[in-house]
């Protein structure tokens, strides 16, 4: 006996209700980034794509570029559960996350981006670091590996290291620790205002990885760029609210954690094969003078870097075992 049209309609309605219920039941996390989509955020974008695909849309990462928080307040937002995932840079607020600033120290080594990812992951997994981030109810999920920072400046090209004296530079702690010993002046401006600050003369130079020079178009007003500064880069991890991570369905947590490696591999490949080349092409097209430090100049920079590393250990020894964390990190860079 065939069901009546009214019964078919009722069954269709119930199916619709169940379907809507499944949509409503999907787990959604809010992710706080800043600026706009760029090479720097491709690890998060790829992670979101993988999570959505592997769970058939049952777990989604909703990425917001500046709509949830200011970049320097992302860790605070994570701590109170304002959103479940965020990216931040440790040099934005060193007092809030002193342990991971160890990776920003000038180790004077140019290592591959893939190796940087491995180093950061190992440091993030260190008990001292985990304890530090736990104060913010935060779990470090994934690094954002960045190549060695180099400087673009609008001043007349450097003739020697003494020309750093008085140069107002926007850059992270480790690099500026060294350059400040040469007389450079650390000058903080928000990332989104770097180009304007260079145009107006608020800063003379910016120290960035290639993607950021491309995003800010610093090279468009620059006159020179360094090629081998090799004094480190920034640590800008992706972090999650620990309570939110623990509350995930086991299957969703497995997918999230299991997709980190794929997201990082995609990020590294994209950065090395696209972003770095675009940056070098951009500075050549803009006609910037490329400054390559001599062996003697590099040796002098490395001597200054040694003192910066020693100062970091002395500064934080009263808060945690800074020597042990430094030795662990230095060992990773030497491998």
Over its length of 335 residues, how does the chain's per-residue pLDDT go in tens digits? Answer: 445 544 544 444 545 544 444 445 789 999 999 999 999 999 999 999 999 999 999 999 999 999 999 999 999 999 999 999 999 999 999 999 999 999 999 997 788 999 999 999 999 999 999 999 999 999 999 999 999 999 999 999 999 999 999 999 998 888 999 999 999 999 988 888 999 999 999 999 999 999 999 999 999 999 999 999 989 899 999 999 999 999 999 999 999 999 999 999 999 999 999 999 999 999 999 999 999 999 999 999 999 999 999 999 999 999 999 999 999 999 999 98
At residue 160, the pLDDT reads 95
pLDDT at 44: 98
Angstrom distance (rounded) from CA 72 to CA 12: 50
The string of DSSP codes covering 50-72 is HHHHHTTTSEEEEEEESSS--GG
Determine which helix (DSSP H) or strand (DSSP E) holds 150, and give its type and residue range. Answer: strand 150-153
State the pLDDT at residue 267: 97
Query: How much is the pLDDT for 7?
Result: 52
Domain ranges of the chain: 26-144+234-275, 150-233+278-302
pLDDT at residue number 24:
52
Determine the CATH number of domain 26-144+234-275: 3.40.190.170
pLDDT at 1: 47
Give the CATH number of domain 150-233+278-302: 3.40.190.170
**Degrees to nearest 5, angle at CA 81 with 75 and 82:** 80
26-144+234-275 and 150-233+278-302, same CATH topology: yes
Query: Which pLDDT score, from 0 to 100, does residue 284 have?
Result: 96
Q: What is the 8-class DSSP label of residue 4?
A: P
Convert the pLDDT of each residue in 89-101 to its tens digit.
999 999 999 999 9
- Cβ–Cβ under 8 Å, residues 235 and 143: yes
């Amino acid at each position: 006996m065939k069901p009546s049209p009214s019964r078919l309609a009722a069954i269709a309605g119930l199916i619709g209700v169940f379907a809507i219920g499944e949509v409503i039941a999907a787990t959604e996390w809010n992710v706080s980034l800043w600026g706009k989509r760029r090479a720097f955020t491709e690890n998060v974008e790829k992670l979101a794509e993988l999570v959505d695909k592997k769970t058939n849309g049952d777990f989604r990462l909703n990425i917001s570029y500046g709509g949830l928080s200011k970049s320097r307040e992302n860790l605070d937002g994570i701590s109170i559960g304002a959103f479940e995932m965020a990216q931040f840079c440790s040099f934005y607020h060193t007092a809030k996350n002193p342990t991971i600033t160890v990776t920003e120290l000038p180790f004077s080594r140019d290592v591959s981006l893939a190796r940087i990812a491995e180093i950061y992951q190992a440091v993030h997994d260190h008990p001292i670091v985990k304890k530090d981030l736990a104060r913010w109810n935060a779990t470090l999920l994934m690094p954002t590996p960045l190549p060695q920072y180099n400087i673009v400046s609008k001043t007349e090209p450097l003739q020697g290291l003494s020309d750093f004296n008085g140069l107002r530079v926007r850059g992270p702690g480790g690099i500026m620790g060294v350059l400040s010993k040469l007389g450079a002046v650390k000058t903080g401006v928000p990332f989104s205002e770097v180009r304007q600050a260079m145009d107006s003369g608020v800063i003379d130079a910016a120290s960035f990885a290639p993607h950021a020079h491309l995003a800010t178009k610093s090279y468009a007003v620059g006159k020179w760029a360094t090629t081998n500064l090799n004094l480190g880069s920034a640590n800008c991890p992706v972090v999650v609210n620990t309570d939110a991570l623990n509350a995930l369905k086991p299957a969703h947590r497995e997918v999230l954690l299991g997709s980190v490696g794929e997201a990082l591999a995609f990020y590294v490949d994209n950065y090395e094969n696209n972003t770095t080349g675009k940056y070098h092409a951009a500075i050549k097209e803009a006609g910037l003078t490329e400054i390559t430090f001599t062996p003697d100049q590099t040796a002098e920079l490395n001597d200054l870097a040694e003192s910066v590393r020693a100062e970091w250990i002395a500064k934080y020894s009263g808060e945690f075992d800074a020597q042990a964390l430094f030795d662990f990190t230095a060992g990773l860079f030497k491998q």
